Structures are given as C-alpha cells and as structure tokens.
Chains A and B, each alone.
Chain A
Amino acid sequence: MMPPTAPPAFRFRQTPGVVFDLKALVRMRRGVNRVVDTLRPTLGPFPRAVAVETAIRARAPELLDSGGEIARRIVDLPEPTENVGAMLVRGMLWRLHERIGDGTVTAAILFQSLFEQGVRYCAAGSNPMLLREALERAVTPILARLAGMAVPVCGRQQIRSVALSVCADTALADILGEVFHVVGEYGAVEIRPGQRGESRHEFVQGSFWDGGLHSSGPGGLSQRVEHADAALLISDLTIDAPQDFVPVLRAAGQASVKRLFVVCKSISEKTSALLHQSQRTETLQVYAVKVTEAHAGMVHAALDDLAALTGGKALLGAAGDSWAAVRPECFGRARRIWADSDYVGLVSGNAEVAALRQHIERLKNALQNADDGALHDALLTRIGKLLGGAAIVHTGGDTDSDRKYRTAQAKRAASTIRAALRHGVTPGGGVALLDAARTSHDLWRAACSEEERVAFRMLEKALQAPLRALLANCGVEPGSVLADILRAGGGAGYDARTGQIVDVCAAGILDVADVVSTAVQYAVKHAGLALTVNAVVHHRNPPVMASPDGLGV
C-alpha cells in the first residue's frame, strides 16, 4: 500500500477537454447570463450598485455602477465553458468601455437577447454562419435609422440632461451643463476632488501646463510671477553654465525683449542665481520655467503647442538645436505670461493664426482616428489648451470617498457630454431602440430570405430588451408599460422620476447618439460571432486557487 502523499497546494480542476455543438452554446449562454444579469440592475436613472469583493477581504468592497468596470472585475467562473461565454461578453464590454465609456449595459442586454435567441435557432437547426451574416446585414438599416434620429445638442439644459443621465447628481449635472455650454466639445476641463462641501467650478483664462518655475534663488519656488507683453523661449535644452546663455541674452537684446520666460529642462544653480539677480533689474528680467508631462513625447508635444500659440520656435536637443542657435525670431510672445511653483501659463499668445488653425486641425484629425484611450485624452487636452481657456470642476462631498466617487462620475459624464456634442443625441430611455425595433419589424415583413427574416425578428426583440430591463429596474411591470408606450406613439417613453409616459425629448431624457449606435453595433457583431462557436477547447488541468462558489477571483 502506497503511503498517502501530501495534499497539493492547488486543487486541480478536472476540465472536460473539448465541449461541442449545442452543449457548448448552452453552457456559454449560462456564463453570458451570469455576467449580464449582474450588470442589469445598473441600467436606468436609478442604478443600483454592485458590490465587488476586494482581494483583501478585510477591506470594504468596491461599489460600482459602471457596466464596463463591473464586467472587468468578473474574471473566472467555476464552470469553464460558462466562463468562456462570460469572458466573451466581458471582452466586448471592456472594449466598448475603452472606446466610448458608456452604453455597456445596453450592449450587454442586447448581446444577451441576441445570443439567447440565436442559441434557440441553432438548436432548431439554423446555420449559425448564415445567421451571423444575416444579422450583420440586417443591422445596417437599423444603424441608419438610429443615425437619422440624432439631433445636435442645443443649449445648456440639454447638456445638463445628458450629464444627469450619466451621473444622477443634479448639482454636478448643473455644473457640467454650464461648463460644457461655455467650453464646447474640445474645451479643456479639469475635474478634481475639491474640499469638503458643495461642488463648484471656475473658468481660467488662457492656457497652462504642469511644470512651473525652476528654483530661482533664495526665495525658492514660493513666488508667482506674471508679466504683460513678455517673450517666451521654448526648448527642452539644459542650461549647464552661464556662458551657455549668452546667445539668448544677445538675441533678447536684438529683439528688444524686456521680460523673458525660458522653458528649459534644467538649469544649473549658478545660472539660476544670475537669473534671479536679473529679475531685480529693468533691462531684462529672465525667468527659467519647465514643462513636465508623463513622458518625453508629451513634453515635445507641449513645446510644439507653446510654439504654435506664441508664434515662437521650439528648440529641441533631438533636432540638434542649441542655445547658440537662438535668434530673435525664435521668441514667442504673449500678452501675459505667468508661472508659479506648479504651472506655467499664458494669455493671448501672438500666434500666426493660419498656422495655429492648421495645427489644431491636425490634432482634431488625429483625435478622430485615436483608438487608444490615453492618446485620445492627451490629444483632447492639447486641443483644449490651444483653443484657450479652461474650466476646473472641484467635486464636493463630505468624505474623501464621496469626492472620489463624484470625481469618477463627473469624468464619465464629461466624456459622454463630449460625445453628445460631437455626434448629437437621440431620444433616451430606450425609446430610440424601440423606434429602431419598429423599423426592424417593418423590414422583417419585407424580407426575402429565411435567414433575413430570422435576423430582423431577433433584432426586433433584442432592441426592446433594454427598455424592458429599464422598466423592471424602475419597479414597474415591463409588459403593460411597454404597451402604453407603444400606444402613445413615436417619441413617447417612460419618465422614471415622475412615473408618467412623456415625450422623452421634451422631458430632457436623452441618450448620446454615438453611444446607442455603437452599443448596437458591438452587440450584433459579437453575438453573431459567439453563435458561430462550434466547440470549446479547455486547458487540460489549469491550476486555480481554492475559492468559494460564485464569482471567484
């Protein structure tokens, strides 16, 4: 008899190897349902939160109501084939969250409905490949219908309505409505946790960058300097010795500059002390400032922007520039330049307008094509600075976590508002999708082939699903309220706050057009793809941490 071996550190799960055909789809469907049913209660004007346990169980759970964030936390369902289904929908939701930041729960519910219906049709013998192609063809007129419903956002109240639909905080929605009514879709908006109390906002003239004064003498960095009609020399060079700076002083004299701000990477103490002395004279006052960004590429971008705004020329070490190359035409000008310990800014730069316009257009084109979220945000920030002015929103709250939560809500709302300003809005509360469902019904009647009829029928039912979920979340019976809505006619929807059937646009219940269209697109594409799965192959014995039942880590 063999002696007993020590129990392994991991419990090895017996995986089924390969799962085929309908069995695979049915199990995947269960996984999809687990994820989507977790997100479902977060849809609507009264979203409920989902508590996500943290790795350290002694800590309070995360309370989330964003579909993308919640889906991302769901990592590994116990049953492996269910897990495959769950990960399929999770992947779709995270990509959607990265792209547009909103609409994830709508997309999840659409996916769930299409997948559920698709599995039944496949069980009845339909060809999933043909079904997928039919779905992708059928969605085109639906998207066209949704695009046709989009109208531009008009005025502060509509912007406020869009904000309210995301953050469900009237004070914050008022502020964001006011802010974006002024700065527009490209304007620079900074959202920061504020002090205890109410949220507030302010508008700042001109543009500013992180960085500020290099230490300029015994006073250190405590001062703020501001000068009118000053010059700006822009570079990423270092000033290692006072002699390096002589060409700059000579060029400044030739250009009749009296007050000069020099952007440089670093400055030696000796040179810094000499500059500090210059600040007491009337002949030429020089201040050394820096621009700091997350990485070198972004610093160069900031220097380019400064050059465009002020009509100057950026001196870059990588391009072989040096202080000896400074000429009077290198200096940029602005009506006001200021710097303190943290920032450097300017108001009314002496830009060459045509060149600045082209620079902004280039950045806007790059923004259109930016897939990466971080690149998108960086480009947006640059454009906002070039357009001049910024809004700062200080989110209030009684506790730190309140303020942090409000900051996250405000950032999501800001992203949604920008999309609304750029792409327009459609009737909200699921009404646009309901209208698209009617279109799908009309197309079903006119369809020629069996697969097309099936596809339009599936879409018709799926497009009603978000509204049904929203009504259920509001505590009303979805079937009867939906019947009332359909009876009331086009544009009518359910106002959860009043419990009435209203004209949703007139009531300010709006959705961002791009969010709705993209949610439909993603759901159809990914559900169609998921239905074509014929077999699921599992790792033979993947190690898993022993964990309790449920949504394990």
Chain B
Amino acid sequence: MDWGCEVDVRAQPAAVTDYIYDVALSPRFAQDGTCFAARASGLYRSTDSGASWQSCLDSLGTDAPLAATAVGLSPAFAMDRTVFAGTNGGVFRSTDGGDSWQYLSLGAPPPVVTALTLSPAFATDGVVLAATLDDGVYRSVNRGDGWLGWNFGLIDRHIHCLAVSPGFAQDGVAVIGTEHGLYTSGNGGRSWREVDALRASAPVTAVAFAPDYVSSGAWWAGTGHGALVEMRGAAMRHRETPERPDGERIQWLAPPDPPHGRPLTAVLESQVAALGPSGWQWVSLWPDEGASITCAAHALDGAGRLTLLVGTSDGGLWCGPVDTANSPGWRG
C-alpha cells in the first residue's frame, strides 16, 4: 500500500509531545495538495500533500505556541481561501489560506473548540458550527463575525464530533457525537434531539453522512468502544456492529461509495479498516502497532479514490491513498 511520505515533524520547533487534535484536507486536495493540521504547538499547513509543513499562527505573534484544537475549511476554499481554527478559548479565521488570522470571540467563558464544520453552501449562507468541550454548539450565520450558543435539548455539552448533511442548506440536518450519546438537529443546528440508538450510553467519536443522504437518508456514527451505528431514513432504523474486544475508538469515518466499489472506511486508534463483504465486520487495511491515531480526514479525487490524512498522538502525520480493493486482508 502506498501511503506517501511520512513527515518527521519532530524536526519542527514543537513540543516533545505534539498531540494532533484535528486535520483537514482542501476540497480540491487532489489538485492543490493543501491540508492543515491542528496540534498542540499550533496550526500547520502543507501545500505539497503533506510532504512538508509550515506553522500558520506565527503571524499572531504570541509569546508561546498557541495550541489549535480544531480546523475547518470552506467548501469553496479554492475561491475564498477561508479557514477556521479552533483554540482553547475561541476561533480564528483566515481568508487568505492561513497567512493571516482574525480572532473571533465566542463569548464568556471562552470555550475549548473541539470541531468546526462549515455548511456545504457556506459561500452563500455563511453558516459555521463550532462544537466545544463543555459548552455545546456555537453557530454563526455571518461567516464567523458573530456567534451564538444553540443548545436547546442538548443535555450533554461535551462534544467530540460534528457533521452536517450534504443538503444542509435545505434540510438543516446536523449530527453531533457527545461523551454520552448522539444528537441530531433538523433546523440548522439551533436545537438538538437525542437519538436513542446506542445500546449503552457510549461516547460517539465519529459521524459521517452518505454523499447521497438526501435520497438514501443514510449516515453513520462510530463510538469510543469501536461500535458502528448505521442510521437510515427519518425512522432512524439502526444496526450496530459488536464492539471491538480491544475497545478501540473510531476516530474518523469515510462514507462508502458504492458506484466505485468502496466500502465504509473507518480510522481507528491503531489501524484503518473497512467494512467487510458481510457488511458488519471490520477488515484491517493498515495495521501499525506503533501508532496511536488521534484524528483523520479524507478527500476524494474525480475517480472516487480515497486519500486519508491521519494524525497521531506523538505528532506523526501520514497521508496517502487508500485502495480497499488491493489492501492485504481485504477480501472483496
């Protein structure tokens, strides 16, 4: 399997343990090779598909490295060059691809941002959702200039992950995974309803919508114990894989692409796996006992090939294509 170059970020001026909180790929990664990594030592950018990285937040002139805890790119990044970075205390916005930044206050007390998601129609609706560690969800409708907390119905405000539907601008559907469960919104993130779909009240650590969600109604949630929940339609029919005996946390989900034969792919703490032919067993694509994966992001090229960017707890970054058809252990 071709995983591209491993970057030795220990060569960068960074803390010994430079935990990577979040990564993001440009929507046109296959063309521009741009990606971002939010880490304890700050926000880093690569424009050569992860071969080299540069610090982005130096322009702020802080005395000490400013930890970045989340990063989100505009769906129209190629045109508007807009990037949001979440920190311990607020959000920064850049409109020049990460060269300069503007601080955006979320109000007091300043929250720790754990995830940032922009509306697929961000260019017109300006909607950004910020998930936080203890303060629920913040929402902006003016590209980040102003933020309000919207937490009606949200009894667990410790949020791990956040995703919006491909048709968010019309249907207002969003999903958040929290420390104790799963919540959905049908009004653009202004209120939340708990989904009673997990056998136990488990932390939900990854969520993903099917690209054809508008017609299929399908989306998935992965838990901190390695279980996968599939939801289909308004009736919330769900299936759940057994929890992995090793209890590995699902850090990221890339939805399936049936026309190109690509199954649902999950990034766990120590491996990348895909759903097997039976549909409910994990098949390992990349076992690497040394790594402790903390986050991931994916991009697709025009032919539907999946590229993953994976961050680890010791500051490692791995970027490369995932070929589920030819991976060892994959029996398609």
Contacts and interface: CB of A to CB of B under 8 A. Distances in A.
A292 B135 CA distance: 28
Contacts of B61: none
A351 B155 CA distance: 8
A354 B200 CA distance: 11
B90 to A, nearest CB: 14
Given A229-B109, A353-B201, A354-B180, A387 B152 contact: yes
Given A348-B135, A389-B152, A183 B201 contact: no
Contacts of A335: 109, 134-135
A360 interface: yes
A181 B187 contact: yes
B94 interface: no
B108 interface: yes
B155 A388 contact: yes
Contacts of A386: 155
A386 B194 CA distance: 14
A357 B154 CA distance: 11
Interface string B82-118: 0000000000000000000000000011000000000
Interface string B273-306: 0000000000000000000000000000000000
B153 A353 contact: no
A184 B155 contact: no
A301 interface: no
A362 to B, nearest CB: 14
B153 A184 contact: yes
B19 to A, nearest CB: 24
Contacts of A205: 148-149, 151
Nearest to A308: B155
A258 interface: no
B179 A353 contact: yes
A336 interface: yes
B155 A389 contact: no
B190 interface: yes
B107 to A, nearest CB: 9
A228 interface: yes
A348 B132 CA distance: 11
Nearest to A152: B234
A443 interface: no
B156 interface: yes
Interface string B184-211: 0011001101100000010000000000
Contacts of A388: 151-155
Nearest to A354: B201
A353 B109 contact: no
A354 B156 CA distance: 9
B108 A184 contact: no
A187 interface: yes
A246 interface: no
Interface in A146-190: 155-156, 181-184, 187
A351 B178 CA distance: 14
Contacts of B156: 353
Contacts, number: 61
Contact of B136 (A336, A348, A354, A357): A348
Given A183-B191, A184-B193, A336-B109, A348 B155 contact: no
B52 to A, nearest CB: 40
Interface residues of B, number: 24
A184 B135 contact: no
Contact of B152 (A156, A187, A357): A187
A144 to B, nearest CB: 21
Given A348-B135, A353-B179, A354-B201, A183 B152 contact: yes
Given A348-B151, A387-B152, A389-B151, A182 B187 contact: yes
B155 A356 contact: yes
B238 interface: no
Contacts of B153: 184, 187, 387-389
A182 B152 contact: yes
Contacts of A360: 155
Contacts of B157: 348
B190 A182 contact: yes
Contacts of B148: 205
Interface string B132-149: 001110000000000011
B311 to A, nearest CB: 28
B111 to A, nearest CB: 8
B332 to A, nearest CB: 40
A205 B154 CA distance: 12
Nearest to A230: B109
Contacts of B180: 353-354, 357
Given A229-B109, A335-B134, A353-B201, A182 B155 contact: no
A336 B151 CA distance: 14
A187 B109 CA distance: 25
A347 B151 CA distance: 10
A353 B158 CA distance: 10
Interface in A351-367: 351, 353-354, 356-357, 360
Contacts of B135: 335, 348
A320 B156 CA distance: 32
Contacts of A347: 149
A156 B153 CA distance: 17
Interface of A: 155-156, 181-184, 187, 205, 228-229, 335-336, 347-348, 351, 353-354, 356-357, 360, 386-389
Given A335-B109, A348-B151, 6 more contacts: A155-B186, A187-B191, A335-B134, A348-B135, A348-B136, A388-B155
The 8 A-B pairs of least Cβ separation, nearest first, read A228-B109, A389-B152, A353-B180, A353-B156, A182-B191, A182-B190, A387-B153, A356-B155
5 contacts: A184-B191, A187-B153, A348-B134, A353-B181, A386-B155
